[in-house]
Amino acid sequence: MSVISLTVNGNPVTVDVEARSLLSRVLRDQLSLTGTHVGCDTSQCGACVVHVDGKPVKSCTMLAVQAAGTDVTTIEGLARDGKLHPMQEAFRENHGLQCGFCTPGMIMSAVALAEHNPDLDEAAVRKGLEGNLCRCTGYQNIVHAVLDGAKAMRG
């Protein structure tokens, strides 16, 4: 066992982890942040995307010990003062989800995409979300949601 300290959603956290523990499992099982979904454990689906030091990371591919000393943001950390993040609101408004399983990872990837590419268009959104799989929506409403969310994030 190792003791690691990190910041999760703005809160300092110290947790005991096994050397082989994945960040996704520590977030879900030890910190009860179940918005980070695990769909495949092989980095194929993107449902587990979180931000580590501001960069999107598939948390099923990162050991928890690698996150020691970092700043992790999960889907639960996007909303502020009871108000949804603009990208969360855009997904809601544009019906960018059906079953909702992929939604946390999609939103976390979309936020990073919008933060790093202020001039998003449909092609850039589709390319930027290639690592996130959705089995329900056909992606069209997701693309609309990301474009609207990016616009709202710009102000």
> Domain 2-77 carries which CATH code?
3.10.20.30
Outline which parts of the chain fall under CATH 1.10.150.120.
86-154
Residue 121, number of CB atoms within 10 A of its CB = 12
Outline which parts of the chain fall under CATH 3.10.20.30.
2-77
Instruction: Over range 22-50, report the average pLDDT.
Output: 94
Residues 63, 59: Cα–Cα separation, whole Å: 8
User: What is the per-residue pLDDT across 51-100, written as a single tens digit (0 to 9) for each?
Assistant: 999 999 999 999 999 999 999 999 999 999 999 999 999 999 999 999 99
User: What is the per-residue pLDDT across 80-93, written as a single tens digit (0 to 9) for each?
Assistant: 999 999 999 999 99
Residues 17, 66: Cα–Cα separation, whole Å: 11
- The pLDDT value given to residue 118: 77
The fold for domain 86-154 equals DNA polymerase; domain 1 (1.10.150)
pLDDT at 50 over 80: yes
Q: Model's pTM, two decimal places?
A: 0.95
**Long-range contacts, stretch 118-127, CB < 8 angstroms, 24+ apart:** 118/150, 118/154, 120/146, 120/147, 120/150, 121/147, 122/147
